[in-house]
Amino acid sequence: MILQKENKILREKAKEIKNFNSPELKSLIKKMSDAMFAETDGIGIAGPQIGESKKIFLAAEDVLHSDRFEKENSRTKNYLVFINPVLKNKSSKKTKDIEGCLSVRGLYGEIARPEKITVEYFNELGVKKSRGASGLFARVIQHEIDHLDGVLFIDKAKNIKKISNQ
């Protein structure tokens, strides 16, 4: 179950993960991927969204291939794991786009975010990684890192609109 915006866990700063070689971590990742892919529009999910105030998020691999992502029923169930992520570089050029959130159902708003970023993180095996991202992938990473800091997109968004799923 994905927590909604009223839940106070979503406003906490998540705690670092120290033990990478644990059944609990593997279980958490599985729980997060199941929750993300259960939603037709789920492309990212952070630990706090499922009630675990831990510095971890998943991003659907499809966001790397937005051409494939745009097509209905062509989603894979592949994902990338980011543990204890830290934004290292951000481009000064920003792009505005509409965002929504699995924890803020029905609301959408425009957010300007850096177009390109570099993030350092650990993968699920505890290996330190660094990667660049741009476009939708960069946006998803920044949105999920906000969750780990207790920030929801509605805190930053302009022109918030309510759209019902009918």
Find the CATH number of the domain harbouring 143: 3.90.45.10
In this prediction the pTM is: 0.92
Is the residue at 95 inside a domain?
yes
**Is 24 annotated in the active site?**
no
pLDDT value at position 153?
97
Domain count across the chain? 1
| Of 61, 63, 59, nearest in space to 81 by CA | 59
Is the residue at 3 inside a domain?
no
The single-letter DSSP state of residue 105 is: T
Alpha-carbon Rg of the chain, whole angstroms? 15
Is the residue at 1 inside a domain?
no
Name the stretches of the chain with pLDDT < 50.
Answer: 166
pLDDT value at position 21?
87
Handedness of CA 32, 60, 108, 120 (dihedral sign): positive
Catalytic pick among 52, 99, 124, 144: 144
pLDDT value at position 166?
44
pLDDT value at position 165?
59
Is the residue at 84 inside a domain?
yes
In whole numbers, what is the pLDDT of the chain averaged over residues?
92
> What is the dihedral angle through the alpha carbons of 152, 155, 161, 163, rounded to the nearest 10 degrees?
10
pLDDT value at position 72?
52
CA 98, chain centre distance (Å): 15
Q: Which domain holds residue 47?
A: 8-162
> What is the dihedral angle through the alpha carbons of 68, 164, 161, 54, rounded to the nearest 10 degrees?
-60
What type of residue is 66?
S
